[in-house]
Amino acid sequence: MPFKSAASFEVKFLQVLNEKGEVDSKLEPRISGERLKQFYEWMVLARVFDEKAIALQRQGRIGTYASVRGQEACQVGSACLLNDLDWVFPAFRENAALIVRKTPLKNLLLYWGGDERGSVPPLGVRNFPVAIPVSSQIPHAVGAAWACRLRNEKNVSLVYFGDGATSRGDFHEALNFAGVFKIPVIFLCQNNQYAISVPRSRQSAAQTLAQKAVAYGIEGIQVDGNDLLAVYVSVQEALERARAGKGPTLIECFTYRLGDHTTSDDAKRYRTESEVEEWKKKDPLARFELYLASKKLFSKEYQSEVLERAQALVDQAVQEYESVPLPAVSDLFNYVAAQLDANVSMQKARYLEGVGAQDVVPVTPVVAPLVKGPANQSSKPGKKRVSLEGSSKADEVPDF
């Protein structure tokens, strides 16, 4: 039967810096040498932080942690373009983006140590707290961007999420709404090829995730997520579009999670070593080093100096984190509602009666088995955090 075409589309792919570190000069963005070095230093800091966080988890000094290794270019190349009054909505793997967004490393550790005070954003920087429920942050980002538009602000939202999040309803509702109302939002999907153990091929039968934009009448592009410059160029364009009132963009950053899903995962059980080795060759940091070297901005001395500086910052943050006094348990009551209802007020009064002057979180080990007996008996406050009274099993570590 002779059909006419109802619609046609193509999905563009952008790479500016290839795996050998060669740049396509027609696509290369103009960025000063100082700024390029800053991008590199952020990526190194994120990686050093990541390694330390995994070690701290293994020692029971923080809780479950989600590694950003391999995805640094996606995050640094995007977050670096926003101003403080743009909104950022992280999922749970956005440690590099949050570093760029001025989050003290101590706060990241507090968060991963189970202390919500780590979620308080730096003053004047619009960062939302980490979202553990997959894709729940995507409609929130649309709402915040819509509010900006209603207030005639030129600010936008940028929301991070993974390939797995694109299978959830929130993603589709958010894109649909943003498309219809031309909301200034950037949907930044880090397609790291897995949602825990579920490979990308089982996530969607679509050839690309970027093409999902087509269904919602918005711009979509796939970029090499291990190429900081490609991420940068695509986000810059999306920002211009959003600020000019031309609506949202979906950017699929094609990348790879080099580590386990979280410290509770063992990726060897569902992916091969050879696959990981292939992706290691595309490491975003190594590629950016080659680029800096081609611009005479890189040397072995500079590399060691950046690494040492990052290690010192991370070590200092660990010290700061471990000397933060534990929160009062009554904070649980104090910050839940503006005014406590009668039931909760009664619970608070009873709790305070029971603990007398010791209104601190009972200290129990994060991973080691709990010792039976009164809380707080022999543990040193400030050494081990997490886990509230009532946890009874050793493996009741918060997980996601």
Q: x-or-dash pattern for ligand TPP, window 28-67, by CB under 6 A?
A: ----------------------------------------
d(CA 73, CA 373): 48
Q: Is 172 a catalytic residue?
A: no
- The number of residues that bind ligand TPP (CB under 6 A) is 16
**261, 282, 287, 384: which one binds ligand TPP (CB under 6 A):** 261
**45, 76, 105, 165: which one binds ligand TPP (CB under 6 A):** 165
Give CA angle at 139 (185, 337), nearest 5°: 120
Phi, psi of 253 (to 5 degrees): -90, 115
Closer CB to ligand TPP, residue 113 or residue 259? 259
Distance of CA 24 to the CA centre of its chain: 29
Q: Is 271 a catalytic residue?
A: no
Closer CB to ligand TPP, residue 194 or residue 321? 194
**252 touches Mg ion by CB under 5 A:** no
**212 touches ligand TPP by CB under 6 A:** no
Nearest CA-CA partner of 134 in 68, 81, 80, 89 = 89
**Beta bridge partner(s), residue 23:** 17
Kindly give, in sequence order, each residue whose CB lies less than 8 Å from that of residue 294, ignoring residues fewer than 6 positions away: 21, 22, 23
DSSP 367-398: SSPPPSSSTTSSPPTTTS----TT--STT---
Interface of this chain with ligand TPP, residues 109 to 138, rule: CB under 6 A: 132-134
Closer CB to ligand TPP, residue 132 or residue 215? 132
Q: In whole angstroms, how close is the CB of 134 to ligand TPP at the nearest point?
A: 4
Nearest CA-CA partner of 161 in 187, 128, 141, 124 = 187
Q: Is 232 a catalytic residue?
A: no
Applying CB under 5 A, the residues found at the interface with Mg ion are 162-163, 192, 195
Applying CB under 6 A, the residues found at the interface with ligand TPP are 93, 132-134, 161-165, 192, 194-196, 257, 261, 400
